[in-house]
Amino acid sequence: MAGLVGRSAELERLDAVLTGLGRSGLPEVVDVVGEPGIGKSRLLDEVCARARGAGFTVLRGRATEYEQQVPFHLFTDAFADADPGAQAAFAEVHSVLHGVRQAPGDGSVESAAARFGLHRAIAAFLTQLGQRGLVLALDDVHWADPASRELVDHMIRHPARGRVLLVVARRVRQTPTTLTAALTRGAGSGTVLHLPLEPLSEQESVLALAPDIAEDQAKRLHAASEGNPLYLLALGHAHRTGASLPGHTPDIHADATDAGYAAGAPGGLAALLLDELGTLTGSQRRLVEAVAALGDHASSALLAVASELSVRDVEQETTALVVRDLLRAGPGGRWMLRHPLVRALVYERTAPGRRAGFHRRTARELARRGAPATERAHHVARSLTDWDAQAAEVLTEAAARFASTAPAIAAQLLDVVLTHMPDTPDRFTRRGELVLARARALGVSGNLRESRDLLHGLIETAGKDHPELRTRAVAQCAVMERHLGHSPEATALLRRELSRDPGPSPAQAVSLHLALGMSALLTASYPQARADVARAVAVARADDDPTGEAAALALAALGEAYEGETAAAAGFADSAASLADSLTDPGIAGLCEALVWLSWAETLLERYADAERHITRGLGIARRTGQLHVLPHLLTSRAFVHLTTCRLPSALEAAEEAESIARAAGSDDLLGFTLAIKTLVLLLARPLGDGSALATGEEATAAAGRGRGWWSSLAWCMLGHATFVSGDPHRAQEAITTAGGGPGLPLLQPSIRPGQLDTLAAAALTAGDVEAAGRWAAQATHEADRLGLDGQRAAALRAQATLAEHHGETGKAVRLLDAAAQEYARCGQTLWEAYSLLRAAPLVQRTGQGARAAAMWHRAHRIAVGGGARLLVDLAELIRPQVLAETPALPAQLAELTVRELEVAELVAQGLSNQDIAARLHLSRRTVETHLSSIYRKASVPSRAALAGLMTRVGLGTGS
């Protein structure tokens, strides 16, 4: 095959990947890059052929420049040729892919699920096919629609399990930055094999591609082609047909424009590539141009309408063009030109009026057939040359339907409408509504600055004459400013709007006051906005707006929890939860952020069951209604709750989905926040010595910067934890004190200070600064007493235990760590309970209480293994020899007992009464009886005597 000349090294690497597919450590994605015509597609052909020969399933898709407004076109194309068995297994994904153009943007399952739920469905499908080996080859990915690029990005970071290989081919200069970054990160981590195709040498290309041409002429052709196989083939063809050679070397770097290579190609080379079109008949030329314009819609019937030829003429001419290898049959009975470069050149050189006519007639025919606006929009947009109210309605309807599934396309369609809409006073309100919709679509799709700039313009032009439109624009603009890290600007904008006379309506006032409160919270200045949030509560209540009232109460709960005002936060959270729970899903959907604020408040208040209930509800509403901007906040809350309650796999899944959405949104602050949570999850989920948490923490702080806001400070704190675990106590102290604005952490949210002070104390002791450790441990105790939260008290106890251990006060350290573990168990923080037990177990063994140390180790190990906390599992294995040395193994009957229950059982075996046990352990008699009931059930013993006998038999009943 001509295009594979000189590619033996690349094929060897690809063969090795195919042979080892599914093994740990080998790439799961291959990134084939090169200039147009360099042989990327031919290399994919060979890879697919070899994979089929080895028994793999092969799915092949190609993106095209002119379907960039068709969501998931790349994957629709790839799955079109799946065998019937695969199609049956893929019914759900197939349905969404082919129905996404009709997916409404009004809150239905089809709209919101299509964007992110589809990713998981496709991964599951590929995993299923991967059981017998699968190659998914995607060509011309640089032209992929935004939804397909987002899905490719997801698959790079979350490869399908099993023997699944994703091979992408693309042009470097035309690949969007986000996709390039994703592939670069994957190459750095070893997931992606970067495979650049370089120009062919003179000897390789001339001998293989121009063997019938005289040597001196062949060398000239090679020089003109710069080693590009497609260019050389075109030049060779021109030479053989007697055409003159271009007088200069082609500029192969002229493909960086949106029109691709065709718009920037030198005229001579373009003429060579289209040379054979010159011999076509008029109807054949018109048909080729129509195929280039119609793309996915190039069926024989539609071609007849678009080209104004009869169906019989279309059939005859397509047969002739297939013989000439200009047209090829594609999936679904459509026709396509033999190469995207040929299509691009034909399209660009079609007279603009004739090209618009193709699109106009196609749009009309699709409308006659009852096709939805989403299917007609591409052709309507390409045919619009002047204002057409009916066409504008089609584009507006399509944009509304694409808003949640493909917001970038929605923004493009609305731009077409706004560009052609007359800017007259009678249309100002309608124009303003469309600007708001476009700004919203731009914001969701990650174009935050363009969205903000549009809204700035609308705010100024609305002025005093259109107050409602202006106020809506201000509220929306404040969100964009906040996500851009401009919370002070958002605050100023909101206060200016609230000061206007006449003021906003009650509903708008609630929205503006809530935006003020959230901006203040993110800039660590909530006390300054406390009155605004209270005002929102009062206005919503007076206006009989339960949704607004629930949101304001939830924001008040989060603000007070953030500030460490636990009692006030609990009161607001109770009221917010009561009101939110009484609302229907449609009733609260308009302010879904209320569930974000409420769930985070409950998380900070250590009410994990309530938080999870509201997170789950919020995620369901957000996905159904397309409110993708709230998903990262709900997902990070879920990740934190699952981390704390020791469910690391699901915590990591939530953190990674939050990261995916944050990257797509293009907000550095939001990305920093999601990566901060992911850093902590990775720290506990990965093995001891793994560097992924530290790398993620570095990226989090780079994204968040050194601002004084909540998200930035959290990122620096998480980096501090990661650096401490990696063995750098000095940098850990620097990171956390940077977050807190100094050694006393005055700028850090009070609600998390004890935990950070615990790490600071441990880092100081490791660095040899005992005095600083003492100060930080004392401050942790003071801060925890003020908060009155079990988990924060436990963190302070742990800090004091670290200090006691350093001073050689082993007994005191044991008591403090035991108390910390009990506090963690009481509030449901099982991960930190396990960590405290592992810290205590070696010390307990040192005091001669071998059985008790073993019980602590076994419970901690069981929690860590069950929750996927790999760091704690590794820590447990490290201390196993010293904790379990000469200690009898616990029988299965006792393995389920908690540390406290084992203590009670040992004292029963020593003959103590319930009253004596209560006095020894500082418990009530009723608590001891409760423990005994649990012990009898878990150990399957009927009585006190049977329990004592069991403890004696296993050597745990004689004391320590």
DSSP labels for 15-32? HHHHHTTTSTTS-SEEEE
pLDDT of residue 693: 95
pLDDT of residue 401: 87
Region 667-682: what's the mean pLDDT? 92
pLDDT at 207: 66
Judge whether residue 149 has pLDDT over 50. Answer: yes
User: Which tens digits make up the pLDDT trace of 502-516?
Assistant: 888 888 888 888 888
Task: Write down the pLDDT at residue 107.
Answer: 41
Q: Give which of 229, 252, 248, 232 is closest to 240, Cα–Cα.
A: 232
> For 748-754, what is the mean pLDDT?
90
Residue 947 or 842, more confident: 842
Q: C-alpha dihedral over 649, 651, 656, 659, to 10 degrees? A: -170
Element at 135 (helix H, strand E)? strand 134-139
Residue with the larger pLDDT of the pair 449 and 118: 449
Residue matched to tokens 């396990």: 834
User: Can you give the pLDDT at residue 609?
Assistant: 96
Which pLDDT belongs to residue 276? 64
Q: Which of 74-78, 276-280, 713-717, 745-749 has the lowest mean pLDDT?
A: 276-280
Residue 91 burial by Cβ neighbours in a 10 Å radius (0-12, 13-18, 19+): exposed
Q: Give the pLDDT mean for 610-620.
A: 96
State the pLDDT at residue 238: 58
Is residue 935 over pLDDT 90? no
**pLDDT (0 to 100) of residue 659:** 92
Least confident of 179-183, 228-232, 460-464, 948-952: 228-232
pLDDT of 572 reads: 97
Task: Name the range with the highest mean pLDDT among 286-295, 478-487, 826-835, 900-909.
Answer: 826-835
Q: Is the dihedral of CA 424, 430, 436, 437 positive or negative?
A: negative
pLDDT tens profile 340-393: 667 777 888 889 999 999 999 999 999 999 999 999 999 999 999 899 999 999
Query: Percentage of the chain with pLDDT > 90?
Result: 45
pLDDT at 322 over 70: yes
Task: Give the pLDDT band (50/70/90) at residue 242.
Answer: low
Distance of CA 558 to the CA centre of its chain: 25
Cα separation values, 208 from 41, 47, 212, 236, 845, Å: 18, 20, 10, 12, 76
Helix axis angle, 631-644 to 668-685, nearest 10°: 20
pLDDT of residue 552: 95
799 pLDDT exceeds 90? yes
Which pLDDT score is estimated for 2?
Answer: 42
pLDDT tier, 255 (very low <50, low <70, confident <90, very high otherwise) = very low
Report the pLDDT value the prediction gives residue 608, as an integer from 0 to 100: 97
With cut-offs at 50, 70 and 90, classify the pLDDT of residue 575: very high
Q: Using the 8-state DSSP alphabet, how is residue 744 labeled? A: T
**31 — phi, psi (to 5°)?**
-110, 100
- pLDDT in the model for residue 808: 93
- pLDDT (tens digit, 9 = 90+) per residue, 638-673? 999 999 999 999 999 999 999 988 887 777 888 999
**Rounded Cα–Cα distance for residues 137 and 155 (Å):** 13
Quote the pLDDT of residue 110.
47
Q: Is the pLDDT of residue 960 over 50?
A: no
> Residue 29 phi/psi, 5° resolution?
-135, 135
Beta 335-337 vs 192-196: how paired, if at all? unpaired
Distance linking the first and last C-alpha atoms of the chain: 80
- Pick the more confident residue, 721 or 20: 721
Q: Residue 532 is encoded by which pair of tokens?
A: 């605004």
Write out pLDDT tens, residues 535-553. 999 999 999 999 999 999 9
Please tell me the predicted confidence (pLDDT) of residue 426: 92
Q: Determine the Cα–Cα distance for residues 384 and 392; give it in Å rounded to an integer.
A: 9
Percent of the chain with pLDDT over 70: 86
Q: Which of residues 91 and 204 earns the better pLDDT score?
A: 204
Mean pLDDT of the chain: 84
Distance CA 260, CA 64 (A): 11
pLDDT band, very low/low/confident/very high, at 97 (cuts 50, 70, 90): low
- Which of 531, 462, 524 lies closest to 488, judged by CA? 524
- What is the rounded CA–CA span in Å between residue 447 and residue 456? 14
As a whole number of angstroms, the distance between CA 595 and CA 680 comes to 23
pLDDT surpassing 50 at residue 256: no
Look at residue 290 in the predicted model and tell me its pLDDT. 93
Question: Cα separation of 300 and 135, whole Å?
Answer: 31
Is-contact 359 352, C-beta < 8 A? no
**Cα 53 from Cα 133, distance rounded (Å):** 12
> Tens digits of per-residue pLDDT, 881-915?
888 865 556 676 777 777 778 878 888 888 888 88
Please list the alpha-helical segments (H only) found in 910-954: 914-921, 925-939, 944-953
User: What is the 8-class DSSP label of residue 505?
Assistant: -
Global pTM value: 0.67
Q: Which stretches within 807-943 are classed as H helix? A: 810-827, 830-846, 850-867, 870-884, 892-895, 899-909, 914-921, 925-939
Query: Quick one: pLDDT at residue 86?
Result: 55
Which of 952, 825, 842 has its CA nearest to residue 888?
A: 952
Tell me how far apart the alpha carbons of residues 840 and 816 are, in angstroms, rounded to a whole number: 9
Structure tokens at 266: 């030198």
Question: How many Å apart are CA 375 and CA 373, to the nearest integer?
Answer: 5
